[in-house]
Amino acid sequence: MPLGRLSQWLLLAPALALLSALFLVPIVWFIAGSLASLGGASEIWGETQRTLGSTAIVKTILNTNVIALTVTLFALLLGYPMSFALSRLKGAAFTLVLVCIVLPYFTSIIVRTYAWMVLLGRRGIVNDMLLSLGLIDQPLALLYNRTGVIIGMTYVLLPYMVLTLYAAMKAVDMRLLQAAEGMGARPFEVFRRVFLPLTMHGVLAGCLIVFILAIGYFITPALMGGPSDMMMAMLIEREIELSQNWPAAALMTIVLLAITLALYSIYSRFNDQSGAEGF
């Protein structure tokens, strides 16, 4: 039944209350409270300059962006053919490919990360196999460095890319491709001039969503990375757990939130234009 003005708000109230009490208020309180503990505006400004000007933090912010960008590119490269296949397959083959994407997607992140640690360790399964095949003489360093972080994060975030691209590719009318082919376009041209432009908004949406998730990532880089692979989320955790430096953590949070929300607003803007609904 259509609802009255009061009852619709009453129905919404519990969810909004939960969101305010355990999400909005804590975030604002944490940032404001941590900064206020420094004293007045000049002290806060001084601390901001000290924190965001320090080489370690600038390096971390740079690192985070480089890692997130690399992961996004790999996810796109691997995700594009996979979503293409998914959008064209039917029946059992479709279900099989879908399971290969959805099962990892819903498996706990710590389980997936652990699995890659087992695979990539010095005496891990990948090194074992390569050694016994005679392809290498010495175990490769695949874990606790940048390689490990990139492999682990790409694996964890790939399903987001595939599912976003799949939605865009599924909407492409195959007759357009046939028409292009019928008019003499070579397969590569069909792809470059018809299919790619038609799926471009999916590519952008997928890249944005993977980048947004990658930039705030914590678990995988913390477990699979080395000392030089510090990311922003890890730094925030470390400032609190190790040094109890709340103001520095708050400042890093502001930077992370600003980047995330800016990218998300771009994402939701052009996602609206393409007619997609909701998230």
| Residue list 19-48, contact with another protein (CB under 8 A) | 19, 22-23, 25-27, 29-31, 33-34
* Residue 76 interacting with another protein (CB under 8 A): no
* Residue 94 interacting with another protein (CB under 8 A): no
Quote the CA–CA distance of 64 and 233 in Å, as a whole number.
9
- Both tokens of 59, joined, read 């390096």
Nearer to another protein among residue 16 and residue 62 (C-beta): 16
Quote the CA–CA distance of 73 and 66 in Å, as a whole number.
11
Q: Are 215 and 68 in contact (CB under 8 A)?
A: yes
Q: Minimal distance in Å, beta carbon 171 to another protein? A: 16
Quote the CA–CA distance of 153 and 109 in Å, as a whole number.
10
E strand segments, 89-156: none
Exactly one of 207, 249, 251, 271 binds another protein (CB under 8 A); that residue is 249
Amino acid code (one letter) for 23: F
Q: Name the one residue in this structure whose structure tokens are 């678990």.
A: 219
E strand segments, the chain: none
Q: Which residues contact 84 (CB under 8 A, 6 or more apart)?
A: 165, 169
Nearer to another protein among residue 44 and residue 79 (C-beta): 79
Of the candidate spans 40-48, 50-58, 68-76, 124-132, the one that interacts with another protein by CB under 8 A turns out to be 124-132
* Residue 84 interacting with another protein (CB under 8 A): yes
Nearer to another protein among residue 36 and residue 42 (C-beta): 36
Exactly one of 58, 110, 136, 258 binds another protein (CB under 8 A); that residue is 110
Give me the 168-187 binding string for another protein, x by CB under 8 A, dash otherwise: ---------xx--x-----x
